[in-house]
Structures are given as structure tokens and as C-alpha cells.
Structure 1
């Protein structure tokens, strides 16, 4: 099994007016005037190191006194919108402990650490440049994954909640070998399902640092779940392998675990279980899915060459003419959803562009 090569930097795609209308319909528009460009006006910074004194490649930024007061207030209002529907009563109990800026990656986000002064509990959220592909990815994650996700958009700025978990690369390097044999089998099962979910919904670039492992303590065991945390590569790349986490070299420890712990029949069973779960979610959210697919079908979120390559590879993979006839990435995703729901109640529900 060959690993795929690194991706080139993806451009940012603007949010079109129809997508803005959709976001407003589902309460995704921020009423607080805070923008990514406001946060770029910092006057100084220092490097942020982890507990092992290793440079994290994040920097802690500082602002002049006047700007900091205004930024802090707006960030508190954003937090209130994100987590308590804009309740202004909580603002007096909040403190912005830190604003960090990421110096690597595609989106170069700001990470906000918000602390409740009454109990010292804190949460993080991110402020990024808005990109249509990422917003489609976040919305599809909210609708189709086992977990919900909060995000808001203000003009060309995206505010995104932090997804709690252990980064996949950190987990594989430091924690995987200490898991019990039963836990390793369960993690292998979850990666099979995660791989299938990403492939069907065309969420790309799930390298080990773009998803997290979430340990959940049950009454007699620890159950592990896997969640995507980066949605930049929704329906963008032309290479079909990029939508299949199994092909990234960073995920080889997971693939090794699957080979050691799961039989072929079990792998097929878990794939079928995930397809069934996705099909049910698609059918249960029929109206909302159709709205977002219709907008995607008329939006340009990838180069024409990528579209041509992906629909050709998907046609060879499935022999489904809907992929061959797709004219946009939204149509391709519509065809994927129709393909996965074919054996369910409404096989013709998701016609491309319907």
C-alpha cells in the first residue's frame, strides 16, 4: 500500500450569497462584529512551548491597551453566542486568558482561551479566515457525524469551537502501545468506520494530526472514538485516495493495528455498519441535506482539473454513471449520497443537483 504525497496549499474560496442565506437560516451568522483581520493587528508575540519545552509553532500575541479592551469584549460576546445563545449575563464572569496565533498550516488560525473566573474552567475556540469549503465541511460534519459542532460566520471570518480529544499523531506516538489488546481492537474498529465515513462524505486530508482520539470511560471499559478536527479539504482534491485516511503514511500505525486485530470479514462488517449509519442520517436530515447539496452543486470550490479527476476515479471505483455525469463537486457529493442510500428506503432521493 503506497502513501500519498503531500498536498499543495489550497486556496480560500469565498462564501456566496446563497450560502450566507443558508447559514442565516440555521443560526450560523454571528451578530458580533469581530473579524480575523482585527486580530492580525497585534503589536508583539512570544513563542508558545508545550510541557516538554518543545516549540508548538504557535505564538502568543499582544495588543495595545485600547485595542485589547475592545477585542476582549467582542471575543466574550462571541463565546456567549457560541455556547449560550448570546446571553450577556455571563460576560462579566469571563476572562480572555490568551490569544495564540498559528504560524503554520493553511488557515493560520487564532486560538482563544476563555476562562470562567468563578471556577477557573476554560475552553478554547478558533477565529479563522472564512472559506466556503471549510464551511461545507463543518456543516456536513454537524449533520452526518455522530457528534454535533458549533461554528459562526461573520462576513469573511469563521468562529469555530474547539473539538476536545488527543491528536492522532500524539496518541499513536505516546499512548497506543499502552492500550490493552481489547482497546486496540476497538480502536482498529473505529478507524475502519472513520475511514469509511471520510470516504463517503469526501472529507480529505485526514492525516494523524487532523483528527483526534476521544477516550470515553464506560462503567467497565474505555471506549475510543475518532473525530475529524480539520475540514479544509471538503470536496477539493481530485485524487480519490486523499479522501481515504488509510493511504496517509502518518496513519500506518492504525493500518498495522487493523491488520493485526481484525479479520477481513470484520472489516467488511464495520464498513457496512458505518454505511448504514450514514444512510440513516442522510435520510433523516433530508431537507437540510438537500439544501446544502443544492448550494454546493452551484458553487465552485475546486479547480476543474480536480473535479474531472475525482469523478473519473469514483466512476472507476463504483461504475456509477452519476459520478461520470457530475458537473461540480456538489454534484459528486450528491452522487455519493445517492450511492450510499441506494439500498435503503428512498434510492432516488439524492439525484445530483436535485
Structure 2
């Protein structure tokens, strides 16, 4: 992400992704991995049960714009059963699954999203004593997304909690302001654009190193944390459907999406090239350190991922060819699956880090 390339990306024709990504099933190896890390559970209901609603209504924002979410309504008998089971799922996701922990909770709403690949249901759980509420999501399980979630947990500065049962994925809510909404409604004279630019560079680097695609502004959130002297910013992905699926290398770099143009401008207008390289180097080193700490878990995940076919072979071939042109690492040319490519890129980063550390001693 040199400054010249960033500036070129501002005027580059918008890159395109697959209109409808193939959904890949969870194979037995991946399921065994999930069980070993308490990610699998026996759910009282599955995704398809939530499709049995009898009516729905559009959910609009404060400006009467369509949010692509619909509130759904169930028949009286089914509503009682579904709501009770959703509370049990919430208890298992956030606690130990004990029934007594949900007695004072109720399901305030169930919303259905008509946009995207996973068509999620958003569940709002509320505490009847203090009105405090929380969200979680029930989605169609897809191997690509699960690999993306696990890699996020192991290699990013963030943690994400989720559970899987058959064709059903249960995911905790990631708090933050959607990237497009932040630009539209929260950007003002008090925003520290230098800090935000730094975070976008680091986010851009993280996405590429772990091959997470389609990180347009509505697929990530801005997390603001007040510090003693300045506001801190962190960019977090909320969409992991495009974990190593596409063949074009630029689809794994948020800087090349038209929807992220404002963030790209923050970088070009506020950071010099040496600072950009510094932040990229920092992110690569941090990821290498996380690889060392999470070596056992990452090794097990990659072993499963390498044996799984989670993208068309022609896309895997295209991606390894483009990555080789960038890294000039012969190990990349040996790759056959997307899992192989992820491992090769991560090993490249780790080797460079270890070589640098060796020179210090």
C-alpha cells in the first residue's frame, strides 16, 4: 500500500465481486475442529425454523430510508416456542446455557435481512428488569464464513464468539458504527483523520494478509474508544462471507473499493509514504506474533482448510498467480487450494518476522 498505488486506486474503475457467492457445507473435519474448541452445540431450533413467519413489515431508518431489514411476525403458538428457544441459544452463546439464566429475558424483536449471502435473522434480547438489550444473529452456516470467523479470532486484535449446529450459524453482535454511516453522519471537525487514516492502513493490511475480501464500508464498523488524550479508532470487519473466495488480489484490499474512497483520501491527505510503510510493517509484525502465540490452533485450522474446497479451482489458480507476482515466493506456486494460499502468505510473513528478529540477537 504505497502512496502512489493508493492515489491510483482513487481513480481506478470499481472492482467487481461475484454477485452470488457459492455456499460451502461444513465437512466432518471442520465440524471436529469446531467441537474441539467449543464452537459446535446442539441447538433447539435451526435457521429454517425462523423462516416460518406469517407476516413481515419493512424497517426504515430515522430518515424513512429502507434498511434492508424486515420485522417478522410469528403465529401465537410458534412465537412462544421460537422465542423460548432463542433465549436458550442466547444463553449458550453468552454463558453456560443454563435455563435459569434466561428467566428474566424476553425476545423483543426478530428481524430478517433480505440483503447479502447469509440472509441473517437479527434477534433482540431484552432484560425485563432494566430494559438493557443485546443482539445476536442466526444465519445460514457456510464454511467460508466459519473459516473467516476463526481466522479473525486467532490473528486479529478482535475476538468473536459464534456457535454452529448443522446448517445454522449463531453469531454475536459486533458493536460499532458502520463505515458508510460513520462518513455520512459522524464525521466532523473533531474527527482525528490522521488516526483514522492510520487504522485504515492497518485494516487494509490485515485483510490482505489473511485474504478476507469484500470489505466495503458497509461491511466493517468503526469502534471509537475515548482515551485520556485522544479518541482511538479501530476498524472491525462484520462480514466474513468472502474469506479467500475470489481470484483477484485487489478484492482483498479495501483501498480498491469505490465505497471506501473517503477512507483512502484520509490516507493520501494525511500520511506520508514512510508512515504508511511503518503501519504496514507494524501490522505484519503483530500478525506474526499472534501466529506464534496461536500456533497450535492455527495449525489445526489450516490443516482442515487446506483439504477443503471453498472456491472454484480457477479462482485459486488466479489468486496464487497474482500473489506470486507480488511476493515472488515459490511456495505460493505449489498451492492448490485457497487454504494452501492462506498458509503460504502467513508463512511468508512469519519467516520475514523471524529473520528480522534473528538479526537483533
- Please state which band the TM-score falls in when normalised by the shorter chain: over 0.9
Alpha-carbon RMSD across the aligned residues, in angstroms, is 1.2
Q: Which residue of 2 aligns with 1:51?
A: 62
4+ residue runs over 6 A deviation: none
For residues 232-278 of structure 1, the C-alpha deviation after alignment (integer angstroms, 9 at most, x for no partner) is: 00010000000000000001111111011100000000000000000
Deviation at 1:346, TM superposition (A): 8.3
Cross-structure match for 1:190? 199
Q: How does 1:136-285 map to 2 (within 5 A)?
A: 136-180=147-191, 183-285=192-294
Is 1:36 aligned to residue 47 of structure 2? yes
SS at structure 1 position matched to 2:59: strand
2:18 counterpart residue number: 7
TM-aligned CA deviation for residue 84 of structure 1:
1.1
Does the CA-based 8 Å contact 1:30-1:78 persist in structure 2? no
**For residue 115 of structure 2, what is the aligned residue in structure 1?**
104
1:33 and 1:23 map into 2 onto residues whose CA distance is: 18
Q: CA deviation at 1:344?
A: 3.2
Per the alignment, residue 94 of structure 2 pairs with: 83
State the secondary structure of the residue aligned to 2:262: helix
Following the alignment from structure 1 to structure 2, what is the Cα–Cα distance between the partners of residues 308 and 343?
A: 24
Partner of 2:79: 68
| Structure 1, unaligned runs of 5 or more | 348-354
Greater displacement, 13-22 / 338-347: 338-347
1:120 maps to: 131
CA distance in structure 1 between the partners assigned to 2:15 and 2:190 by the alignment: 28
Q: 1:6-25 alignment to 2 at 5 Å?
A: 6-25=17-36
Aligned residues: 345
Q: Alpha-carbon deviation of 1:117?
A: 1.1
- Pick from 266, 270, 289: which aligns with 2:298? 289
Q: Is the 8 A contact 2:135 2:172 kept in 1?
A: yes
* Displacement of 1:343: 2.4
Relative contact order (alpha carbons < 8 A, sep ≥ 6): 1 or 2 greater? 2
